[in-house]
Amino acid sequence: MSRIVVISGSPLAPSRTDLVLRYVESILKKKGIAVDYIDVPDLPPKDLVYARFNSPVIRNVIELVENADGIIIGSPVYKASYTGVLKALLDLLPENAFRDKPVLPFMVGGSIAHLLAIEFSLKPIIHNLKGVSTQGVYFEDSSIDKEGSGNPIKETDCEFRLQSQLEELLNAIVEKQRASQLVGNFR
């Protein structure tokens, strides 16, 4: 069974980012995939602010990330980038925490003007942590129903983009697992 870690960098609860990430979590679980959900604001603030690399909670997050087959990382757009709380966590991860793992970046912003925030903020940090980024998914706030239950995505086009990116992530995980098995057979 594959294991995916979902990291939510939204400081607000509830948030549109969290609603979509929780929806993604439910889709993955229906497919039989194990999901570990990390909501960064739920982590001890002092561990994040004082960079307590060795706190038990941070060590647990690092272990979940390192043992994951894939990662989904989501954030609202703040000042054309991801949030400070997400940055605080990412700074505590080891340099190779995402090594060769498929990573799906996800962002929610107020307008289409922030579309490139994935390219210029999330993808570089994924690369820095040695992950392999998929294309990613960007949603405008207006395409997410903050009040509804179940599927919070209002627009068919947005739902299609999300589903296709999830398939890309899952296919990348399967390919990585197959490649590891093939290499293992030659040792």
Looking at per-residue confidence, does 181 or 16 come out higher?
16
Task: Return the structure tokens found at 85.
Answer: 């709380």
Can you give the pLDDT at residue 180?
82
**Domain tally, the chain:** 1
Within 13 Å and on the Cβ side, how many CA atoms surround 61? 27
At 163 the pLDDT is: 97
Tens-place pLDDT, residues 95-148: 999 999 999 999 999 988 888 999 999 999 999 999 999 999 999 999 999 886
DSSP-derived secondary structure for 127-154: HHTT-EE---EEEEGGGB-SS-SS--B-
Inform me whether the pLDDT recorded for 161 exceeds 70.
yes
Q: What digits encode the pLDDT tens for the residues 22-73? A: 999 999 999 999 999 999 999 999 999 999 999 999 999 999 999 999 999 9
Which CATH number covers residue 20?
3.40.50.360
- Whole-number pLDDT of residue 186: 55
For every residue of 40-72, DSSP letters joined together read: GGGS-HHHHHTT-TTSHHHHHHHHHHHH-SEEE
The residue range of the domain holding 181 is: 3-185
- The whole-number pLDDT of residue 22 equals 95
Q: Which residues of 11-37 are buried (b: 16+ CB within 10 A; e: fewer)?
A: beeebbbbbbbbbbbeebeeeebebbb
The residue whose two tokens read 């229906």 is 30
Going by C-alpha positions, the residue among 26, 52, 119, 41 that lies closest to residue 81 is 119
Residue 113: predicted pLDDT = 87
b/e map 112-144, b = 16+ CB within 10 Å: eebeebbeebbbebbeebebbbbebbbbbeebb
pLDDT band at 1 (very low <50, low <70, confident <90, very high): confident
In the block, residue with structure tokens 């949603």? 139
pLDDT band at 150 (very low <50, low <70, confident <90, very high): confident
Whole-angstrom Cα distance, residue 32 to residue 86? 27
Which pair of tokens denotes residue 119?
A: 């390219």
- Are 78 and 84 spatial neighbours (Cβ–Cβ below 8 Å)? yes
